[in-house]
Amino acid sequence: MDELTQLIESAKADFAAAQQPAALEDAKARYIGKTGAVTMLMKELGKLPADQKRARGQAINAAKQAIEAALNERREAIANAALEAKLAAEAIDVTLPGRSGHTGGIHPVMRTWMRIEEIFRSIGFDVADGPEIESDWFSFTALNNPPNHPARSMQDTFYVDRQDGNGMQLPLRPHTSPMQVRYARTHTPPIKVIAPGRTYRVDSDATHSPMFHQVEGLWIGENISFTDLKGVYADFLRRFFETDDLVVRFRPSYFPFTEPSVEVDMAFTTGPKKGRWLEISGAGEVHPNVIRNFGLDPEKYIGFAFGSGLERLTMLRYGIDDLRLFFEGDLRFLRQFN
Ligand code: PHE
């Protein structure tokens, strides 16, 4: 093997040994860099006799070209290997089964809320919403509660640490009835509205939660009687429970804001709960003093109001016996409704 062929072979071996671009450039310098072996041979050309120069020059050039070709080939191979390694490191296994997203569900009390809105909308009721931090006036005074009424007491009602313009501490509304007043004062009769929402009372056991839901109903016109209350409410229950197999009873009771006042009880006439009376709502004809606080003339306007517990309706509909299940967030319970 002549000197030039040896040089080419040696360069190829060095290039092959280089694993990184920097090592490859070092190897290149040893052969075709400024002081590289091939470059040195070129410089020595001048010392040769004229008749040998041409052939020797061509041979050295050919060797240089062979080395450059080997260098470029190796450069490409190193770059390709780097790319392969990068792709392998970032590889996504597209054959892995996907992680499915979690589908949310609707809380059973919320289902009741939505059903009630749907039923009352279908018979021409508006749906209204109002503040949970209420004033004393809307919560009690406007609803004909005397100043010393026990509902105002700290034992029954939660208060926030803030006062209104009259120096009265602000309650968390203990019922949705303030919405009767808020709505009636901003609308003209006939007034037909329900107001579902959260309510708060100092109460906590298997059938009471400090936060619960009510739906207020109000229908005021020139001749809306107790008969209308009976018809509307009984019809609502039949649609809500999707059965005609139930009976409704209006039992005399007392609320400051209605006269006469009743508790509405219902019982199923078939099924496992047959014959058991359950209280589901307060109701009555709106008291003339409250009509006056609506800004209306009680000689002209009359109508009914009711306030029903959404948890109670939900428990009856699904046969749930502990109200606390609604607020624990246990997915085993909640998934049954979705
Ligand atoms: N606000 C009453 C309660 O929470 C229910 C009610 C509403 C009664 C409307 C009569 C009329 O107990």
| Residue 1's pLDDT band (cuts 50, 70, 90) | low
Percent of the chain whose pLDDT exceeds 70: 100
Residue 318 has a pLDDT of 92
CA dist., res. 72 & res. 77, Å (int): 9
Residue from 140, 172, 175 to probe ligand 1 pocket by mutation (most atoms less than 8 Å from CB): 175
Give 314-338 pLDDT, tens digit per residue: 999 998 989 999 999 999 999 999 8
Residue 101 has a pLDDT of 83
Residue 2 has pLDDT above 90, yes or no: no
Task: For tokens 């139930």, name the residue.
Answer: 246
Residue 192 has a pLDDT of 98
Nearest 10 degrees: Cα torsion 37, 40, 46, 48: -40
Task: For the full predicted model, state whether its pTM sits above 0.85.
Answer: no
**DSSP per-residue string spanning 74-137:** HHHHHHHHHHHHHHHHT---TTSPPPPPPPP---HHHHHHHHHHHHHHHTT-EE----SB--HH
Give the residue, by CA position, lying nearest to ligand 1 atom 4.
Answer: 175
Name the least confident of 24-33, 171-180, 280-289: 24-33
What is the token pair recorded at 215? 């739906």
Average pLDDT of the residues in 223-243: 97
Distance 218 CA to ligand 1 centre (A): 11
Distance 182 CA to ligand 1 centre (A): 15
What is the token pair recorded at 237? 């229950």
Distance 299 CA to ligand 1 centre (A): 23
